[in-house]
Each structure stands twice: as structure tokens, then as C-alpha cells.
Amino acid sequence: MAAKTTALIAAGTVLSFEDPNKKGTYLELNEVTAIGSIGVQGEFVETTPLSATTRTFISGLKTPPDKEIVGNDVPGNANQEKFLKLASDNATVNMKAELSNGRTGAFVLALSGWQINKPQGTETLQWTVYGKQSGDVSWTTKTS
């Protein structure tokens, strides 16, 4: 898919994880409904000397986001079951988010459990996997 020149909605985004048994093979999580922020946010370190009356700062370390990946619960979906098992095992996995505008972010995700979300009569049954992005994101963009 070629990069777009106008803003697009997120529909069409594909989230996948690397199969721990087949390096380089990514398995799609086609029931995911939310993936959270992707990237890093910088922190700042204060450098204000006592003689100053206005604070000064420098850039500090960048912090990756906590993740809550949400998906429709479809028991028997092989990729979903493998991902939930990895979350139960607190595994660390390689992830890839292919956004609908042609940008792809690859990142490492440390997983830490999952749960079935509160069942409600008019909504789909969903799960949430918890994790923390580890390190930076490798961004690529497809061009035509």
C-alpha cells in the first residue's frame, strides 16, 4: 500500500506478533479493536542554576508507553490463543503495527497478563492484554 497524502481513519490497521516458533513469521491479530499509542515520549531534566530566575531544561531519556491491547474474544482463533498464552507466560515478543496510511511501526513488547473485560449485554466479549513497549520503534513508510 502506498503512503497517503491525506489523513485516514485507523480502520485497516493490522497488528501482528512474531511467532516465537518461527522467527520472521508474523501472525495477525485480526480481532484487535485497540492497540494504544506507539512510539516514545521524551522526559526533561532540569538544569536550572541557583542564580537563574527561570528554569532551564535539557532532553532526558525517552519512555515507551504502557500498552493495553484490546480484542474481540473468539475462542479457537489460533493466533489469538497463542498471543493470550504468551501474555499469560509474561513473554517478550516482537510486534508490528501496519497502519492504514502506509506507516509501519515495529517494536518489542513485554507482556504481563490478560483478562476478559467486563461482560455487558449489548457489547462484544473482549479481552485486554497488558504490556510495556520496550525500547524505540522502528518506523517505515511504504511509498508508491
pLDDT of residue 11: 81
Q: Which helix (H) or strand (E) holds 78?
A: helix 78-88
More reliable by pLDDT, 82 or 11: 82
Q: How far apart are CA 17 and CA 105, in angstroms?
A: 12
Contact 133, 38 (CB under 8 A): yes
Burial of 40 (0-12, 13-18, 19+ CB in 10 A): middle
- pLDDT at residue 82 above 90? yes
- Closest of 47, 48, 42 to residue 136, by C-alpha: 42
Mean pLDDT of 57-86: 96
pLDDT of residue 143 exceeding 80? no
**81: part of which helix (H) or strand (E)?**
helix 78-88
Burial class (CB in 10 A: 0-12, 13-18, 19+), 30: middle
Three cell numbers at 40?
Answer: 516514545
* 83-105 residue pLDDT tens: 999 999 999 999 999 998 999 99
**Which tens digits make up the pLDDT trace of 22-56?**
999 999 999 999 999 999 999 999 999 999 999 99
pTM for the predicted model, two decimal places: 0.86
pLDDT (0 to 100) of residue 7: 67
- Cell representation of residue 103: 506507516
Give the HSE-up count for residue 18: Cα atoms under 13 Å, Cβ half-sphere. Answer: 15
Q: Residue 12 — very low, low, confident or very high, per pLDDT cuts 50/70/90?
A: confident
* Res. 142 pLDDT band, cuts 50 70 90: confident
